[in-house]
Amino acid sequence: MQKISIDFSKTKGFIADGAVQQIEKEVLTAQQKLHDKSGAGNDFLGWLNLPSSITAEHLKEVKATAERLSKQSEVVVVVGIGGSYLGARAVIDALSNSFDFLQSERKAPVVVYAGQNIGEDYTAELLDLLSNKDFSVVVISKSGTTTEPAIAFRLLKELLEKKYPAAEVKDRIVAITDASKGALRTLADREGYQTYVIPDDVGGRYSVLTPVGLLPIAIAGLDIEQLVKGAVDMETATAPGVAYDQNPSTLYAAVRNLLYQKGKTTEILVNYHPKLHFLAEWWKQLYGESEGKENKGIFPAAVDFTTDLHSMGQWIQEGERNIFETVISVEGANRKLEVPSDKDDLDGLNYLAGKRIDEVNKMAELGTLVAHVDGGVPNIRISVPQLNEYYIGQLIFFFEKACGISGYVLGVNPFDQPGVEAYKKNMFALLGKPGFEKETEALRKRI
Ligand code: PA5
């Protein structure tokens, strides 16, 4: 199996020689805690062996649902936020044509997103677009009560009910939610929507390989079998029996914790392919929600290079030295495009004529790597042979596994997110939600 690989050589000099070996025991203990389910949050470990537990029948069923929705829809709206949104978008954006939404000859419907914000203009513009399109809705919420997707779903359901007869509306909605709890489950059962269950023991940010991610990804026309195969192979490559220094997840967990101990409190995930922007957004949620607690945790940030070299490059090169970079380096482009020659050469680019665009990108990457290391920014490099479902599947499971280990090494529960409730309580009080009356007055005085 060819697999993604990691190069830590550009962290040398930033952490002590031999430090990675010295914390081997600590990291393996953290990994063991995951596997024997003895650590904090051990009731949320359903993702740990999820890839290898996915059956061919399950994938077939998900694909059949995707096909049914695709046949009846020009557009499928995926409604969800956080862990119920980012994984699907990460994979779909990484592997779809960048101008997919403008393609006239399509094999799959256009996938658009709703309920990932409370933007009135965004939502109104989406409803305008959908009023002239055949569309279906995949509504995803584990709790079934999250405000953003609930508002969006109300509006979308109303539009469906205006456009289609009642019997058809129910066939245009698929709900992915808890097996028995929550408003979405109640509604889905009452209205007879097709449903998929988000397992109790899989938290939102670890749910991309459940129907939460798989159904939207299949609707976008991508190969979910290959995605899962990549994840299964990474499950094997990171299994407890694999040697510490051969296991990319244990090494990544070790090195980022060592850098953190050296004051590198921000990790920047870097990509050189704009399609990976949302993979970084998914990664930010995974690591941010898993580790940022008890006044601890690396701050996960992300940049798209070379675009952001023209905005954030200065800060990264010469700003406060509390950062390290983790670069996702894609070895080869899927398409071939060369810099053309020009007879006048006014822009002086003829020295590049005949070179692949990807080679220029790669030299930008390597030049930046050395410049940033010289500037005091340690660099971890993750090489991905190609952008396809198989390697994205590997990458997803690699990051998930490393995150669980890293959180335990840091000494936090990587599977809860108590902090995300604080803003909700205040928002409900300010909006006058029944039950929050006491907080409302006190809060208004503080604003
Ligand atoms: O990780 C989390 O818990 C959150 O980001 C959730 O994924 C997000 O709030 C969506 O929750 P739900 O699926 O319950 O609507």
Residue 104: CATH number of its domain: 3.40.50.10490
The sheet with strand 379-386 has its strands ordered as 5-7, 379-386, 323-332, 266-271, 299-304
Q: Does the residue 257 lie in any domain?
A: yes
Same domain? For 282 and 405 the reply is yes
Residue 101 belongs to domain spanning: 50-225
279 Cβ partners below 8 Å, 6+ apart? 90, 91, 93, 94, 271, 328, 392, 395
372 is catalytic: no
Spatial contact of 393 and 94, defined as CB atoms under 8 Å apart? no
Report the distance separating Cα 24 and Cα 26, nearest Å: 6
Q: Which numbered atom of ligand 1 lies nearest the CA of 143? A: 14
Q: Closest Cα to atom 15, ligand 1: which residue?
A: 141
* Catalytic-role residue among 25, 60, 296, 424: 424
Q: How far is the CA of 390 from the centre of ligand 1 (A)?
A: 26
Ligand 1 pocket by Cβ (under 6 Å): 81-84, 141-143, 146, 149, 203-205, 289, 417
338 is catalytic: no
Same domain? For 380 and 297 the reply is yes
Q: Does the residue 422 lie in any domain?
A: no
Q: Does the residue 330 lie in any domain?
A: yes
Q: Does the residue 362 lie in any domain?
A: yes
> Would you tell me the crossing angle of helices 389-410 and 277-291 to the nearest 10 degrees?
20
158 is catalytic: no
- What tens-digit pLDDT sequence spans the chain (447 residues)? 688 999 999 999 999 999 999 999 999 999 999 999 999 999 999 999 999 999 999 999 999 999 999 999 999 999 999 999 999 999 999 999 999 888 888 889 999 999 999 999 999 999 999 999 999 999 999 988 899 999 999 999 999 999 999 999 999 999 999 999 999 999 999 999 999 999 999 999 999 999 999 999 999 999 999 999 999 999 999 999 999 999 999 999 999 999 999 999 999 999 999 999 999 999 999 999 999 999 999 999 999 999 999 999 999 999 999 999 999 999 989 999 999 999 999 999 999 999 999 999 999 999 999 999 999 999 999 999 999 999 999 999 999 999 999 999 999 999 999 999 889 889 998 998 998 888 888 888 888
Q: How far is the CA of 81 from the centre of ligand 1 (A)?
A: 6
The three-state secondary structure class of 85 is coil
For residue 272 the two structure tokens come to 């050189």
Q: Does the residue 100 lie in any domain?
A: yes
Q: Does the residue 325 lie in any domain?
A: yes
Same domain? For 13 and 156 the reply is no
Same domain? For 237 and 214 the reply is no
Same domain? For 269 and 291 the reply is yes
For residue 359 the two structure tokens come to 């080679």
Same domain? For 250 and 326 the reply is yes
DSSP letter string, 317-335: HHS-S-EEEEEEEEEE-SS
Same domain? For 181 and 311 the reply is no
Q: Ligand 1: which of 44, 81, 285 to mutate, most ligand atoms within 8 Å of CB?
A: 81
Q: How far is the CA of 204 from the centre of ligand 1 (A)?
A: 5
Same domain? For 20 and 84 the reply is no
172 Cβ partners below 8 Å, 6+ apart? 69, 72, 73, 135, 136, 137, 160, 164
Give residue 200's pLDDT.
95
Strand partners, 381: 7, 327
Final residue of a domain: which of 198, 225, 252? 225
Q: Does the residue 427 lie in any domain?
A: no
Final residue of a domain: which of 201, 225, 249? 225
Same domain? For 271 and 404 the reply is yes
For the chain, the domain total comes to: 2
For residue 119 the two structure tokens come to 């933007």
The sheet with strand 194-197 has its strands ordered as 110-114, 75-79, 135-141, 173-177, 194-197
Q: Does the residue 415 lie in any domain?
A: no
Q: How far is the CA of 64 from the centre of ligand 1 (A)?
A: 26
* Catalytic-role residue among 267, 289, 365, 400: 289
Same domain? For 282 and 363 the reply is yes
Same domain? For 265 and 169 the reply is no
Same domain? For 321 and 366 the reply is yes
Final residue of a domain: which of 193, 225, 257? 225
